[in-house]
Amino acid sequence: QQQVKQSPQSLIVQKGGISIINCAYENTAFDYFPWYQQFPGKGPALLIAIRPDVSEKKEGRFTISFNKSAKQFSLHIMDSQPGDSATYFCAASTRPLHNDMRFGAGTRLTVKP
Binding site residues, another protein, CB under 8 A: 4, 6, 9, 32, 34, 41-46, 49, 89, 91, 96-106
- Residue with smaller CB distance to another protein, 71 or 108: 108
Looking at the DSSP assignment, which residues form a beta bridge with residue 34? Answer: 49
Task: Give the number of other CB atoms < 10 A from CB of residue 67.
Answer: 12
Rg of the chain in Å (alpha carbons): 13
Nearest CB to another protein, comparing residues 60 and 113: 60
Long-range contact set of residues 57-65: C-beta below 8 Å, sequence gap at least 24: 62/35, 64/33, 64/35
Cβ proximity to another protein, 26 vs 79, nearer residue: 26
Q: How many residues does the chain have?
A: 113
User: In angstroms, what is the minimal distance from the CB of 15 to another protein?
Assistant: 27
- Shortest separation between residue 28's beta carbon and another protein, angstroms: 19
Least distance (Å) between residue 41 CB and another protein: 8
Nearest residue (CB) to another protein, 77 versus 91: 91
CB of 43 to another protein, least distance (A): 3
Phi-psi region of 71 (alpha: psi -120 to 50; beta: other; left: phi over 0): left
